[in-house]
Chains A and B, each alone.
Chain A
């Protein structure tokens, strides 16, 4: 199915371009920025689809009330470490292309870190397998965004945030609070994917491929 081939594509991309700091020309040289944006957009839709299944399984693992449709726990101060996608509409509209892309890049880099920690702690083999698959796809998205940024001549934001504080430090002080953190992580991931689709749709309209090639030549790449 299309879903599977996207998964393989992103995994290959992740395997081939290991560091986000690599000259992105390796990954997107042949594609105009316009095409890369389209592919990034498609990736976010694919991830959104994958997340639905992952979240369903994970929330069932956490048990009720976490898997109830109307569950809406308080967001405690500690949950703020996960970057929030919600932003003032005017602010969002006014973002420059660079800022828009950078916000996405930073957010997914951090979300990926948190998800990877989750992968190490989770109980069942089925969940670990799903999480690993999702992380690989998410890594592909981060690289794809990095590729778009580089092809447009924008510098990548300072590398992905250092892995979350060492275990024991600001990690959740008890198991229930950890479940709430996990719940909010998945929620933020979902919100970000919804938002990214709109971000990339907006970028698509603003960046025609022809313009990009000229800009690359001008910069002497």
Chain B
């Protein structure tokens, strides 16, 4: 048979407090229960509180004094419990001890192909607030009064939000983030931007790297401009980065401008190179500001030719290299048998594809330099 009334009442019930504050809580046993103040004791998060901090305020009321409270152990609140002598739980109160939030900072936004807007930010507090903090991203068109609230959170990390539609071009937006918890609210500084100024796009497609005839030190790179932006007036600038197969150091070609091809020169003969291209759609509709660089395209591999004459001075480990090459060729032909089904096109391209596959399957290197 369960009692109709709760056995006891704690005051304050579920209070919110600043770190370092003190609290006096009371437990009053219901008149239906034959318990007196001396039959009670307190625990906080499962640990018994010292009797020295108790005081009987009445025949069936016991108080406890808590001083200089630390931040809550869990975000659901510290569990302050009033027990009867045999350990039974009579009542409990959740203490929320923490700090008000600080202004969120570092708001950065980008738009994929002018269709949407994603923003991310950082919480202001270096450490923790100990309380659950809610972040709301808000935006409005300047001079148009109405605030909008972003709905899709965590799309690009914990502190991010995605606005999928109904965004206007050629108009400045005001964007800010509100952080709130039980102890207060903090609003970030307002960021002003025009969607056209923060456009990014997909990486260039169809990146092809090929030899330039027999030239040993050159490779030709060709690509297509990203299809998503083909209907818009924009100038793209591109960047190419390339590295030697065995190195993790990327070389960057910066001044590629608006072309969709480029020739790499000064390369080592007979070497496999990995090449990536990325795009920046600046000057959309005549905007003078730089856009945002896309991700790098998937790496494409190609090798420079090596002339027949192998000069001794260039290959100090000549003999060693021959056996390595033979071993590699053996492995290569084995791979071809498995994957090419007797295809007679054992061209250099296939060999290069195999080198890329070898790289990936050994996982010897990671890509370097994704961000500027």
Identify the A interface with B (CB < 8 A): 60-66, 68, 73-77, 80, 123-125, 174-177, 179-180
CB nearest to A60 among chain B residues: B74
B306 to chain A, nearest CB (A): 49
Give the CA-CA distance A62 to B77 in the complex, in Å: 8
19 contacts between A and B (CB under 8 A): A63-B45, A63-B74, A63-B76, A64-B73, A65-B79, A65-B81, A73-B89, A75-B2, A76-B2, A77-B2, A77-B4, A123-B132, A125-B154, A174-B13, A174-B93, A175-B13, A175-B14, A176-B81, A177-B6
Contact check, B132 vs A63: say whether CB atoms are below 8 A apart.
no
Tell me the chain B residues, 32-85 only, with Cβ under 8 Å from chain A. Answer: 43, 45-47, 73-79, 81
Known contacts A64-B45, A64-B46, A65-B43; is-contact A179 B94 (Cβ 8 Å) = yes
Q: Which residues of B contact A180 (CB under 8 A)?
A: 92
Contact check, B78 vs A63: say whether CB atoms are below 8 A apart.
yes
A54 to chain B, nearest CB (A): 15
Contact check, B79 vs A179: say whether CB atoms are below 8 A apart.
yes
Q: Which residues of A contact B94 (CB under 8 A)?
A: 174-176, 179
CB nearest to A174 among chain B residues: B13
Tell me the chain B residues, 65-120 only, with Cβ under 8 Å from chain A. Answer: 73-79, 81, 88-89, 91-94
Q: Assess whether B345 is interfacial by the CB under 8 Å rule.
A: no
Among B46, B88, B132, contact of A65 (Cβ-Cβ < 8 Å): B46
4 other contacts beyond A76-B2, A175-B77, with CB at 8 A cut-off? Answer: A63-B45, A63-B79, A65-B43, A65-B45
Known contacts A74-B88, A174-B14, A176-B93; is-contact A63 B73 (Cβ 8 Å) = yes
Among B2, B14, B75, B158, contact of A176 (Cβ-Cβ < 8 Å): B14
Q: Assess whether B3 is interfacial by the CB under 8 Å rule.
A: yes
Give the CA-CA distance A87 to B51 in the complex, in Å: 42
Contact check, A64 vs B89: say whether CB atoms are below 8 A apart.
no
Contact check, B79 vs A64: say whether CB atoms are below 8 A apart.
yes
Known contacts A63-B45, A64-B46; is-contact A123 B75 (Cβ 8 Å) = yes
CB nearest to B79 among chain A residues: A63
Contact check, A176 vs B76: say whether CB atoms are below 8 A apart.
no
Q: Which residues of A contact B2 (CB under 8 A)?
A: 74-77, 80
B3 to chain A, nearest CB (A): 7
Total contacting residues, chain B, CB less than 8 A:
29
B349 to chain A, nearest CB (A): 39
Among B14, B45, B76, contact of A123 (Cβ-Cβ < 8 Å): B76
B97 to chain A, nearest CB (A): 12
Q: Which residues of A contact B93 (CB under 8 A)?
A: 174-176
Q: Which residue, of A64, A66, A124, has the highest number of chain B Cβ atoms within 10 A?
A: A64
Give the CA-CA distance A177 to B93 in the complex, in Å: 8
B129 to chain A, nearest CB (A): 13
Give the CA-CA distance A66 to B2 in the complex, in Å: 21
Q: Which residues of A contact B75 (CB under 8 A)?
A: 61, 123-124
CB nearest to B81 among chain A residues: A65
Going nearest first, the 10 A-B pairs with the smallest beta carbon separation are A64-B46, A176-B92, A63-B74, A65-B46, A175-B94, A77-B2, A175-B14, A64-B45, A123-B132, A73-B89
Q: Which residues of A contact B92 (CB under 8 A)?
A: 176-177, 179-180
Contact check, B79 vs A77: say whether CB atoms are below 8 A apart.
no
Give the CA-CA distance A180 to B75 in the complex, in Å: 16
Q: Which residues of A contact B132 (CB under 8 A)?
A: 123
CB nearest to A76 among chain B residues: B2
Q: Which residues of B contact A77 (CB under 8 A)?
A: 2-4
Q: Which residues of A contact B76 (CB under 8 A)?
A: 61-63, 123, 175, 179
Give the CA-CA distance A61 to B75 in the complex, in Å: 7
Give the CA-CA distance A64 to B91 in the complex, in Å: 15
Give the CA-CA distance A117 to B2 in the complex, in Å: 25
Contact check, B79 vs A176: say whether CB atoms are below 8 A apart.
yes
Contact check, B3 vs A62: say whether CB atoms are below 8 A apart.
no
Give the CA-CA distance A80 to B1 in the complex, in Å: 11
A124 to chain B, nearest CB (A): 7
B5 to chain A, nearest CB (A): 9
Q: Which residues of A contact B3 (CB under 8 A)?
A: 76-77
B183 to chain A, nearest CB (A): 16
Give the CA-CA distance A114 to B335 in the complex, in Å: 57
Give the CA-CA distance A174 to B82 in the complex, in Å: 15
Q: Which residues of B contact A68 (CB under 8 A)?
A: 46
Q: Which residues of A contact B79 (CB under 8 A)?
A: 62-66, 176, 179
A64 to chain B, nearest CB (A): 3
Q: Which residue, of B4, B14, B88, B89, has the highest number of chain A Cβ atoms within 10 A?
A: B89
Give the CA-CA distance A176 to B77 in the complex, in Å: 9
CB nearest to B88 among chain A residues: A74
Q: Which residues of B contact A174 (CB under 8 A)?
A: 13-14, 93-94
Tell me the chain B residues, 170-205 only, with Cβ under 8 Å from chain A. Answer: none
Give the CA-CA distance A124 to B74 in the complex, in Å: 11
Give the CA-CA distance A175 to B12 in the complex, in Å: 12
Give the CA-CA distance A61 to B79 in the complex, in Å: 11
CB nearest to B80 among chain A residues: A176
CB nearest to B96 among chain A residues: A175
CB nearest to B92 among chain A residues: A176
CB nearest to A68 among chain B residues: B46
Give the CA-CA distance A180 to B4 in the complex, in Å: 16
Give the CA-CA distance A77 to B45 in the complex, in Å: 24
Give the CA-CA distance A65 to B46 in the complex, in Å: 5
CB nearest to B90 among chain A residues: A74
Give the CA-CA distance A76 to B7 in the complex, in Å: 10
Give the CA-CA distance A177 to B92 in the complex, in Å: 7
